[in-house]
Structure formats: C-alpha cells, structure tokens
Amino acid sequence: MAKKDYYEILGIKRDASEKEIKQAYRRLARKYHPDVNPADKSTEGKFKEINEAYEVLSDKESRKKYDKYGDKWQYADQFEQARYQQAPSWGFGGSSGQTSYEFSEGDLGSIFDELFRGKHSRTYTRRTQPRRGRDIETPVEVTLEEAYNGTKRTISLQTEEPCSACGGTGTIQNVPCATCRGSGTTTRIKRIEVTIPVGVDNGSRVRIAGKGQPGYGGANGDLYLIISVKPHQAIERRGNDLYMDVEVPLTVAMLGGEVQVPTLKGKLALKIPPETQNSRVFRLKGQGMPKLGDSKRGDMMAKARVILPEKLNMQEKELFQKLSELRPV
C-alpha cells in the first residue's frame, strides 16, 4: 500500500527494534544533513525523507498504523470508525449482536473515497487531540578547540506544522486539502542558532528546549544535538584529561630550562628540570578539558620528547667526543 517504504528509506527490516531504528536514523542523518553537504542540494530532499520515516517509525502508535494502512496511516482513526459503522448486525433469537467485519485493500480505497469525497453524504471530521510536539535529534560535529571553549552553530531543521489552509484537519469540505495533501501538516526547513557548551564530548546530548517539532495544541518538542568531536592532530583526549608530546632540546633536557607548551588556550611555559629523561610525563593541573556542566577541569599530561641534534659541526662533534670519553659506555 505504501508509496514510500519508510523501512527501506532507513535501510532496516520491518521487525527492527527501537534501538535499530534510532541507530539507522543517526547514521543516515549524519551522512545526508544539509549542513554536512552544503554544496549538494539533493541531500536536502533525502534528509527530509529520512526524518519523515523516523518520525513515523520511532513512535509506537504511528508505526502500528503505518504497518496496517501504509501511506494512508494518518487516516487510521477514520478507517476504523468507518469499519465499525459499516459492519453488519445479525439478529439471533430476538437478541442482536455485532460481528467483526474485515475489509480488503479495495474496500479501503472505497472507504477513503467516502471519507474525503463526500459519497453517501457522510461527513467525517478529523479530530486532532492536543499533544506535545516530538523531539528532534540532529548530529553536530565540533573541533577539540570548540569543545574546549564552547561555540555556536547555525543548523538546518525540518519541522512539521499544522497546515494553515485546513487548520490541521487534512480536509476542506470533506476533500483532501491540496496544500498538505490530506496530511494536516506542512513541512519546512528552518535555520536556528544554537550554543554548544564547553566540555562536550563524543555522544554528548545537548538539549535545546522548545526547538523540536511544533505541538498540536500542546508544548513544542525539544531539540537534541548529538555531538561528535573531531580528532586533534597533536592532542589526545581521554575523558577530561589531555595528552600531548612536548619537544625538549637535548641541552635543555640535560641542563634544565623552559619550553613552550601549545595548549588549547595558548602557549604555556613548562619548567624542565636538569637531566630530564625522554618520555617523562609532566602533569599540568587544571589545563585539561572543562567538565560539561561543571567549573572543574581535567589535567594535561605533557610527555617530554627529547630532540637529538642533527648536522653537527666540528666543534660540536669534538664536545660529544670528549663527553664520550668522560662517560664511557
């Protein structure tokens, strides 16, 4: 029955679990999000399809209706009402009762005609109960520097709103609304600016209250940003601690001195004691990542990487020769 196969769009089986549906959505949303593919306009349509499929299949009730009625799932209540009213009554021995009556696929088309084209002079009103808007999840990728300092993003969201032409009923004088094609909702892409707080990590869920799908007589849903942090070329993050190598000249390692450590908030002077061995780790308290929702910070672990001199001149070679004589192996 379905013109669009939502299961096929998400690449899942019809018996997929809620977890599998969410995993498939997140994977595809990251791939086809308009912000990730600004040069490819075709991804906007694909992203819209993915969201449409997820909106239906992630909700138990709407998924049940979709599995039964396919692309006409939004009219499930009307179909059920029509089935009940069309079911024949049978009398036995002076008493009456009612039996269940099953409709074929062809019958559904007939009922659909009755519901929305006014056959047999019947009038059905689509009743929409007040309900809260659904939450939306969208992937956001940030750099380690942005996770350290916090940042802002302007993101594109697909939202469904009650159709203004039919008031969200889906019909005008018993005929499917031409504006929303009988769905009762219209889809639009809106752009909003969001704040990424300091300390986010891979998998962090940042809640933006009231920025999800509009409610139907109820409150709007929420927007959840699913964060992923790009790997840094020189710094490794482990929880809230940061790890990096620091180049230390041989003379500084042997005699002591200072080296500059390039942290995420600028350079920091690190005191190197005399006779520092290669791979020695220095803990810089409070120089790590800020903790999400907390004023505390992790530490930075700076590992000394002693740099041996190259292209020695004659005088330097003589000095090393003398050193080898003073300190024979």
pLDDT band, residue 311 (cuts 50/70/90) = very high
Cα–Cα dist 182/56, whole Å: 16
Q: For the chain, what is the mean pLDDT? A: 81
DSSP E strand stretches across the chain: 89-92, 95-98, 136-142, 151-162, 171-172, 175-176, 185-196, 205-208, 223-229, 236-238, 241-249, 257-263, 266-272, 281-284, 300-307
Domains belonging to the chain, first-starting first, are 130-230 (2.60.260.20), 236-326 (2.60.260.20)
Give the residue, 293 or 224, on which the prediction is more confident. Answer: 224
Q: How does DSSP assign 267-284, residue by residue?
A: EEEEEE-TTPPTT-EEEE
Percent over 70 (pLDDT), the chain: 82
Give tens-digit pLDDT for 206-252.
Answer: 999 998 888 777 788 899 999 999 999 999 999 999 999 999 999 99
For residue 99, pLDDT beyond 60: no
**Please, what sign has the CA dihedral across residues 94, 100, 106, 109?**
positive
For residue 109, pLDDT beyond 60: no
pLDDT at 40: 80
Helix (H) or strand (E) holding 325: helix 314-326
**Cβ-Cβ contacts under 8 Å for 135 (sequence gap 6 or more):** 212, 213, 221, 222, 223, 224
Global pTM value? 0.60
Cα–Cα dist 280/306, whole Å: 10
Cα–Cα dist 123/173, whole Å: 9
pLDDT at 113: 52
What ranges in 58-104 are assigned the alpha helix state H?
A: 60-69, 76-86
pLDDT at 195: 94
Token pair in block for residue 201: 């990590």
pLDDT band, residue 159 (cuts 50/70/90) = confident
